[in-house]
Amino acid sequence: MAKPKAEQSVLWLGIFASLTMVTALVFTAIFPSYNNRWSTNTVDGAKYFRAVRADTGTGYSKLEEEGRLVYQREGCMYCHTQQVRPLRTEMIRYGIHHSPAPPADEREGIYDEPHFLGTKRNGPDLSRVGGKYSDDWQFSHLYNPQQMVPGSIMPAFTWLFSNANPADPSMAPVPSHECVALVAYLQSLGADRMIWDPALNGGKGGYRPWLLPQDKQNSLAESQAALMNAAKPIHAPRVSQ
């Protein structure tokens, strides 16, 4: 007895769906790099998105890893994101001078657990802040955000300093080890990010740092100039990592 046409249609639909699934599984097994943004292929090319530190074998030095824990403990991710969306206006906003900020890529966070992508921006995105300001600017900003960025709503992290007494100008605040580690972590964000430049190698293309040297130099000079006008700038040597 012949099966009704409706049953035959369902049967063929099931066979087609099964074959499609099997084909897809076989394809992904044979060609895992067909789409280089798949999580299964995240490590490929990661050196262009996060440099591996010699002392830890990961994307952070020991000091930067300590700073990352301070960043997490202080809840910085609640007000700052670490993801630049692929929008021209956003790339310019979080770029530095003539160096547009490259969009976020999953390979940048292969050493991050947990991720600090964030969902809200009460403050600016920080994924490209490394190299934008000097260490001294960062110390001064953490101690008294409003003196470095007038109108800022960021709270002062005075507990990360010893001799911290904003009411007494004679007391020179000294960054704690945790504060130095936090600044080291901030300076690592985006610092090693590379971008593809088709103009390199005689038009064949190649990777280069996203932040042009002249833009970094100009930005650091501006941050140092801002320190000169600060009411109470903090100067502290960078601890070797």
Q: How far apart are alpha carbons 148 and 134 in whole angstroms?
A: 12
- At residue 22, the pLDDT reads 86
218 pLDDT tier (thresholds 50, 70, 90): very high
If one compares 166 and 25, the residue with the highest pLDDT of the two is 25
pLDDT in tens, 36-52: 444 445 566 778 888 88
Mean pLDDT of the 214-238 span:
85
Say if pTM beats, i.e. exceeds, 0.85.
no
Place of tokens 């991050």: 112
The answer to whether residues 139 and 175 touch, using CB atoms and an 8 Å cutoff, is: yes
- At residue 104, the pLDDT reads 93
pLDDT in tens, 142-199: 999 999 999 999 999 999 998 766 566 667 788 999 999 999 999 999 999 999 999 9
Which range is most confident: 3-7, 17-21, 34-38, 186-190? Answer: 186-190
Q: How far apart are alpha carbons 110 and 41 in whole angstroms?
A: 11
pLDDT in tens, 57-100: 888 999 999 999 999 999 999 999 999 999 999 999 999 999 99
Coarse DSSP helix, strand, coil percentages of the chain, rounded to the nearest 5 percent: 45, 5, 50
pLDDT in tens, 60-71: 999 999 999 999
> Quick one: tokens of 52?
């591996």
Q: How far apart are alpha carbons 48 and 57 in whole angstroms?
A: 15
The mean of the pLDDT values for the chain is: 86
pLDDT tops 60 at residue 238: no
4 pLDDT tier (thresholds 50, 70, 90): low
Other beta carbons within 10 Å of 62: 14
DSSP state of 106: G
pLDDT tops 90 at residue 123: yes
pLDDT tops 50 at residue 239: no
Q: How far apart are alpha carbons 24 and 123 in whole angstroms?
A: 43
- At residue 44, the pLDDT reads 64
